Amino acid sequence: MDTQSIPGLAAREIDCVNKREVTPLTFTAVDGLAFAAQKGKLGRSSSHSFMAGDIGPLLELRHLSADGLLTPFENILSESPSYTTDLFLALKQSQQLWICPSTRRAGFFRTTDSEADASNAYHFGMAAQKAAIDAGFSKHVGSQLVAAVLEMVDNIYLHSTLSETGLAAFHARPGYFEFAVVDRGVGILRSLQENSEYAQLNDHGDALQTALTDGCSRFGSDSKHGHGFRSLFIGLSNLNGALRFRTGDHALTIDGRDPISIPWTKLAKPNISGFLAFVSCRTHARSKG
């Protein structure tokens, strides 16, 4: 487990979330809240205001709140884009399929392990592809992104053992598209340990790295499963992609134009249930400023 950078990282993040100001809700802020809560140093930051923007940090915050580590996530958020208001309401109402009625640029569907899933996945995919195209991506890239989302949704049914807990979501704005696929299943480590090939794994970070290797799954290396992530990485090449995977007490991130060749960053994080995957991409190069 790589924990050398955790003390300094936690200190910076805790300091960030304890400032009394409205700040963007980023993954760094979410990590900071979680580390502070884990160490009992959250103080008054439970009333600190964050502005939700991207759907990835928002859903991870919601996940940690549901796990009981953080205060209800609605209490942490202040100003937010208009689509998040409708999103919160739809999530509270346990809607199975929701596409933002005002913008059509955001949506989600829940995996229920019922006959409705196939239809909901289809309508979700069509809305996501249109949103990506409207954001400036080509039709071909839009279809690749949707295929990546649905490939990862399939993993919920195959590996989580709690397919009724899954949620897939997307959000788009000009030049930007992101999606998230999360579940509250057994997590990557326990899933892989079901196969004798991976019984020696005892670390969530190592399990994450193993699961993202082409051909690895709880069904074993001789099965035809475990190849979806490489397709995802190939599809994101040259799209200024950023990826974040979370399970147990680790996160693995990839940030750059070529997810296949750029090194992965694996870091210890506060514990989280299930498996979470977040992917964002841009039609243009990001500023270095």
Of 35, 57, 80, the residue that ends a domain is: 80
**Per-residue model confidence (pLDDT) at position 2:** 39
- pLDDT bucket at 66, cuts 50 / 70 / 90: very high
**Per-residue model confidence (pLDDT) at position 235:** 63
For 74, other C-beta atoms within 10 Å of its C-beta total 12
**Per-residue model confidence (pLDDT) at position 3:** 35
In a domain, 260, yes or no: yes
Q: What is the mean pLDDT of residues 214-218?
A: 54
Same domain, 127 and 23: no
In a domain, 87, yes or no: no
**Per-residue model confidence (pLDDT) at position 181:** 96
Same domain, 73 and 98: no
Same domain, 2 and 130: no
Percent of the chain topping pLDDT 70:
76
**Per-residue model confidence (pLDDT) at position 128:** 97
For 288, other C-beta atoms within 10 Å of its C-beta total 4
Higher-confidence residue of 79 and 97: namely 97
**Per-residue model confidence (pLDDT) at position 59:** 94
Q: Where do we find the tokens 């300094």? A: 8
Q: At what angle do helices 27-38 and 6-17 cross, to 10 degrees?
A: 100
Of 58, 80, 102, the residue that ends a domain is: 80
Residues 140 and 134: their CA atoms lie apart, in Å, by 13
Same domain, 119 and 185: yes
Domain of 130: which CATH number? 3.30.565.10
- pLDDT bucket at 4, cuts 50 / 70 / 90: very low
In a domain, 164, yes or no: yes
Same domain, 24 and 115: no
Residues 280 and 5: their CA atoms lie apart, in Å, by 25
Please check whether residue 250 is in contact with residue 201, taking contact to mean a CB–CB distance below 8 angstroms: no
Q: Where do we find the tokens 């963007």? A: 24
Domain count within the chain: 2
Whether the model pTM is above 0.75? yes
User: CA quadruple 63, 65, 68, 69: dihedral positive or negative?
Assistant: positive
Same domain, 75 and 125: no
Q: What is the mean pLDDT of residues 117-126?
A: 96
Run of H or E residues at 56: helix 55-67
Q: Where do we find the tokens 């689509």? A: 83
> In whole numbers, what is the pLDDT of the chain averaged over residues?
81
Same domain, 104 and 63: no
In a domain, 11, yes or no: yes
In a domain, 88, yes or no: no
Same domain, 75 and 133: no
In a domain, 280, yes or no: yes
What's the pLDDT tens digit per position in 177-213? 999 999 999 988 988 888 778 888 889 998 888 887 7
In a domain, 144, yes or no: yes
What's the pLDDT tens digit per position in 11-45? 444 444 454 467 889 999 999 999 999 988 875 44
Range of the domain at 34: 1-80
Same domain, 128 and 240: yes
Burial letters 30-57, b for 16+ CB under 10 A, else e: bbbbbbbbbeeebeebeebebebbbbbb
Q: What is the mean pLDDT of residues 214-231?
A: 53
Same domain, 55 and 189: no
Does the pLDDT value for residue 225 go beyond 70?
A: no
What's the pLDDT tens digit per position in 240-268? 788 899 999 999 998 765 555 556 789 99
Q: What is the mean pLDDT of residues 220-232?
A: 54
Same domain, 67 and 208: no
Does the pLDDT value for residue 46 go beyond 60?
A: no
Same domain, 144 and 268: yes
Does the pLDDT value for residue 239 go beyond 50?
A: yes
In a domain, 86, yes or no: no
